[in-house]
Structure 1
């Protein structure tokens, strides 16, 4: 199982700050596609991704027990 942490509008769209799913062996990009088919994540492609508290790339392959965080862009002044 992979634990996915969601922030800001992604959290609001999912209705939860965390989701768990079977995604071991998928890349971060494939995980994004899987999540997009289940939730209405408008800015998922623009979100920064961290795997186990380290920023990662789209081709990072996930292992069971990984924690993935999607951090959408923020604006403010």
Structure 2
């Protein structure tokens, strides 16, 4: 699957995209995020990370596959 990275997530992983292969079926978007946090521990330090699956906001329960495009959306800052 293709994972799009923005802001601090892009800095942590060192690229704006990540090609990620999974061999697990029935993988939820929340579990995918947990796997990414395990592989890239710096992601765990972020207050929150929103996910989008194929351009739609994800709530964590969506089943994802290698055909999907995932976006990791870091916390927004500003004032």
TM-score by length of 1: 0.85
Corresponding residue number in structure 2 for 1:68: 70
Corresponding residue number in structure 2 for 1:15: 14
Stretches (4+) displaced over 3 A? none
1:21-57 alpha-carbon deviations (Å, 9 max, x no partner): 12363111111111111112122x6122110001111
Aligned CA RMSD, in angstroms, stands at 1.5
**Total equivalences in the alignment:** 75
Alignment of 1:1-77 (within 5 A): 2-23=1-22, 25=25, 26-39=27-40, 40-41=42-43, 42-43=45-46, 46-77=48-79
Where does the alignment leave 5 or more consecutive residues of structure 1 unmatched? none
How far residue 18 of structure 1 moved from its aligned partner, in angstroms, is 0.9
